[in-house]
Structure 1
Amino acid sequence: MSIKTTLTLAAAATAIGFSGAALAGSHGGDDDHADTDRALVILTSDSLQTQGMAMILSNAMQQQGTELNILLCDAAGDLALDGYESGEAINTPPSNPAGQVKPEGIMGMLMGNGASVDVCAIYLPNTEHEEGDLREGVGVAAPGPIAEMMRDPKIPVFSF
């Protein structure tokens, strides 16, 4: 990753984080659960804007103290591939000075800040890719633990 890309991603994270922080005050949750707040984000869409928004919202949740588990399935699983680039960057809203971002760039930042990212158990067997093709730190989800999270009423599930 070039220094320009790294600086752009850092600026994006900061700007996106500020946007998320503004919303944090309106959440109205129990502050005692801030350290144990978890979320499962399931991303299947091949739409660049949907992938980007899923990552931007995930970043805002992480900035607000949420422990993230991200599951990439179907076409979104490609984000997990080492060296994958989504092509065009997406523009952030005018109120957000981040400029242009790519979903895989935000995902990398999320992982760097502790987010867990996995591909669906059926992603690799249904593509020409192998586990060695995944970005460092990306795993292959087992259905049992994912189902456990989905069934836990304390863990919200967000699908994109």
Structure 2
Amino acid sequence: MNFVQRICALALIIGAFVMPREQAMASEGADGLYVVVTTDNAQTQMMAMVLSTQTVQQGKSVRMLLCGPAGELAVKGSEQTMLKPLDKSPQMLLAGLIKNGVPVEVCPLFLPNKGAAAEVLIDGVTVAKPPVVAERLRADDIKLFTF
């Protein structure tokens, strides 16, 4: 199985656990993804970035919310883990997503509990507003992926 086939297989497996089958089938015509990343696992973070990048390349919209340990991805100078076969880090792919216009936010609890201000965030990342996030999550044309 080559790399692309592995990515596709993994995406299908993740999709089976992310949302019930009925919800996935009902949202096949979705215009985009709302990706919520909470894990500190670099491989899982990378998969979130790879699938988000592929979604953007296929002409669909992506919004990303980084919460808990995953918020560290948006902190300037955070430790990076290089992963094969791309020899890139999740932060590198995140930077590419931001460059391509993907809105990226950190949860509003992240910075206060880190004891930091918004200045520690990389360019293009903002702090989420819960009412706005809730509204976006309810949109009929958006699939929710959580990692």
1:68 aligns with 2:62: yes
Corresponding residue SS for 1:40: strand
CA-to-aligned-CA distance 1:28-49 (integer Å, 9 cap, x gap) = x66xx8xxx2211000000010
Unaligned runs of 5+ in 1: 1-14, 21-28, 93-98
Quote the Cα distance in structure 2 between the aligned partners of 1:46 and 1:56.
16
Residue number in structure 2 paired with 1:82: 76
1:140 aligns with 2:121: no
**Offset at 1:128?**
2.1
**Offset at 1:112?**
0.4
**Number of residues of Structure 1 aligned to a counterpart in Structure 2:** 125
**Offset at 1:153?**
2.0
Q: Which letter maps to 2:90?
A: P
Q: What is the RMSD of the two structures over their aligned residues, measured on CA atoms?
A: 2.1
Residue number in structure 2 paired with 1:129: 116
TM-score normalised by structure 2 residue count:
0.78
Contact between 2:33 and 2:143, CA under 8 Å: does it hold in 1? yes
Residue number in structure 2 paired with 1:59: 53
Q: Which letter maps to 1:157?
A: L
Q: Which letter maps to 2:73?
A: L
Residue number in structure 1 paired with 2:138: 151
Residue number in structure 2 paired with 1:91: 84
Task: Calculate percent identity across the aligned residue pairs.
Answer: 37
Runs of 4+ in 1 over 3 A off after TM superposition: none
1:104 aligns with 2:97: no
TM-score normalised by structure 1 residue count:
0.72
**Offset at 1:54?**
0.6
2:106 to 116, 119, 122: 119
Unaligned runs of 5+ in 2: 9-27
